[in-house]
Amino acid sequence: MASAGAEVPLSPKLRFRLLSELVLSAAVCCTVALTVAAQQLPISSGRVVSGTLSFDGHATAGDFTGTTNTVTGMVSGGPDLGSVRGWVEAPVRSLKTGNGRRDRDLNKSMESDKYPTLRFELQQVIRRSGPDDSIPVVFQGQLRIHGVSRRVELPGTLQFTGTEVRVRSNFPLNLKDYRIGGLSKLLGMLRMYEDIEVHADLVFRLDSSAASQAQWPGSIPASGPAGY
């Protein structure tokens, strides 16, 4: 029988369990610390290096998806996440739905010759409560489609990995808000509904060098038509 105050030897199994828990706790603490640091330290300027912009459309003939990988954009850095500004855009004609006739109808409705670009201009990033490995935020800014600019608040997430940040956002959009018509064909027998869902999945590469501090276009009007 062990005397009072004597140390009780730990079994190999118990020692391994305690060591595993200690390593796991340290890893979690490091991950949280690095993520918080990424949010608090100055955010560098950067540009889009890859991304997809898509929408889910609904019509009497069935649902469909339009997608483009031709996405460009930049962010100007700041002392913290809330001070970051930037823009993202994509050519209307780069959207493909997998049906040539439908693509032609889309470009006709969007008047892509007159308004060739879809564009979002970021004016502020607001962090929401949530996990640190996928930071929930709201992107405030101006969304310009079909010559109409509207102030929007888009929900999204940020994931920092080294010198890159992955930006994702999913939000509903009403085509009539942007004065997009021509949704009915064949006397209304074929019709696309005005409510769609938009998805953005972008990767920005951040760079703190002076060369990355490129100029980006100024802010766009608060609302109303714009010949863009």
Cβ burial 41-72 (10 Å sphere, 16+ → b, else e): eebbbbbbeebbbbbebeeeeeebebebeebe
Q: Which residues pair with 167 in a beta bridge?
A: 158, 202
Q: Which helix (H) or strand (E) holds 196?
A: strand 195-207
Q: Domain 43-214 sits in which CATH superfamily?
A: Lipid/polyisoprenoid-binding, YceI-like (2.40.128.110)
pLDDT at 182: 84
Cβ-contact 175, 191 below 8 angstroms:
no
3-class DSSP assignment, residue 2: coil
Q: Is the pTM of this model over 0.75?
A: no
pLDDT 10s digits, 176-207: 999 999 888 744 457 899 999 999 999 999 98
Neighbouring residues of 40: CB distance < 8 A, sequence distance ≥ 6: 80
Can you tell me the distance from the alpha carbon of 77 to that of 84, in angstroms, rounded to the nearest whole number?
5
Q: Which residues pair with 91 in a beta bridge?
A: 117
pLDDT at 21: 52
Band the pLDDT of 10: cuts 50, 70, 90.
low
Can you tell me the distance from the alpha carbon of 222 to that of 89, in angstroms, rounded to the nearest whole number?
17
| pLDDT over 90 at 68, yes or no | yes
For residue 207, give Cα distances in angstroms to 22, 43, 84, 219: 35, 9, 14, 23
DSSP state of 78: B
pLDDT 10s digits, 157-183: 999 998 999 999 999 999 999 999 988
Domain ranges of the chain: 11-40, 43-214
Cβ-contact 205, 190 below 8 angstroms:
no
Q: Which amino acid is at 43?
A: I
Can you tell me the distance from the alpha carbon of 146 to that of 226, in angstroms, rounded to the nearest whole number?
8
pLDDT 10s digits, 95-140: 999 999 999 999 999 999 999 999 999 999 999 988 878 899 999 9
Question: To the nearest whole number, what is the mean pLDDT of the chain?
Answer: 80
